[in-house]
Structure 1
């Protein structure tokens, strides 16, 4: 069955900017493949195989997929144009491999194409800070000036206190902010002009660790979004840092006494004892 695929199998890459919520996955076939008996299937082929959209004998439509149901479409008359490209709205950028397959009336594969989605500028960004620092910034900048009607939401999905900060109607909405973050968070007061949506978190602690997400809405439609992972480290053990000068002196005295000590042995053993 798969022998016929070898001459018609294709892999292409499609780029999409970070924060975009829609994309078109291109797929056009030659006229010789256009027949009323063909079936065309678009599938998500990452870690699991899921059918997203199907065209069969002139009828087409999205499947009842829990994520993409209602968010996929093809052109109205693909059998005439040969254009079976799939438009996806409300895109999940964590999904990256899609497959489109054309079958004949016997279920034999006539053509198959794999589309790999590449996210340009996607910042799987991690911010690290040591506990005890006065503040940390979770960065997110977009092109300004920004539409006055936007709503900006910073959330902490990894926490029970998910609502970190909301900017709406030109001001911070304190009523939508969890009390854990009140008086601990700041944003640029002139963000509509600057486009700087970064979040400043004061007195970061270990409980603040995890994933943060900033989502920009226009009405109920998502315009852009970004995720930042915050890592708040405990400071180095003071007993260890206090011993560093003595460790250096010990190595110096050892070297002057011509002892053959393996490189780093004294430091490594001290680390293991901490």
Structure 2
């Protein structure tokens, strides 16, 4: 029986060692200006003394160091000051994920998560700094170009947006000035009405609810001047697991009749110009004809 207990404990310690020595590697793609969560989870939070996030190209400087319930600012790379935090400082269930705010292209790189533990390690009674338990490659690209659309009140407008593929979990159309309410949220083939701005209820739809070829364009019906603003299209994709803004469109809506009035005025000016040119041509031809007749009379 004692041998079975020893074997059981040995197997348990071996599995824990293998967990620490193993690492999970993943990749995240996002755009500049977004907040990103780099996930990392230890077996539990009872034995964690220190959490360290690092990036290989920063050498001795680190992204974040958290020790005994406090952040340690010494040797932190300047570019991460006031931009990083742990998702849960209590590290419940071993969650030591990193939040990186307002990312830029300078944040591109491979991030490693390590922890120091007390007691629960391969050598009883010693503190252990693990090999990386999470390795994440972060790729940040510049935000998409902004498009401008002009419409007249009462029209139906399509705001185009296309994802790289149709492996889409959630589609979200938002407008910055409506924060935190949104224009449209589509999840698991259903529209989610919670927190949708009241002015868009029953006026918005996706151009293709099957999202073929990644088409997540928005249809906005019966637009008004209150719909003027900057719209952002974002998707959550299975392979990325973070919000990816892929289209930014500024919509300008003219008051009723204004756009048509401008067009009618332009048409009136063009008609007037054509009339004046025709009259001028008639007068020139008439004068030229009269001149020819006088020349013939003189020669006879």
Taking structure 2 as the reference length, the TM-score comes to 0.46
Larger Rg, first or second structure (1 or 2): 2
Normalized per residue, which structure has more helix?
A: 2
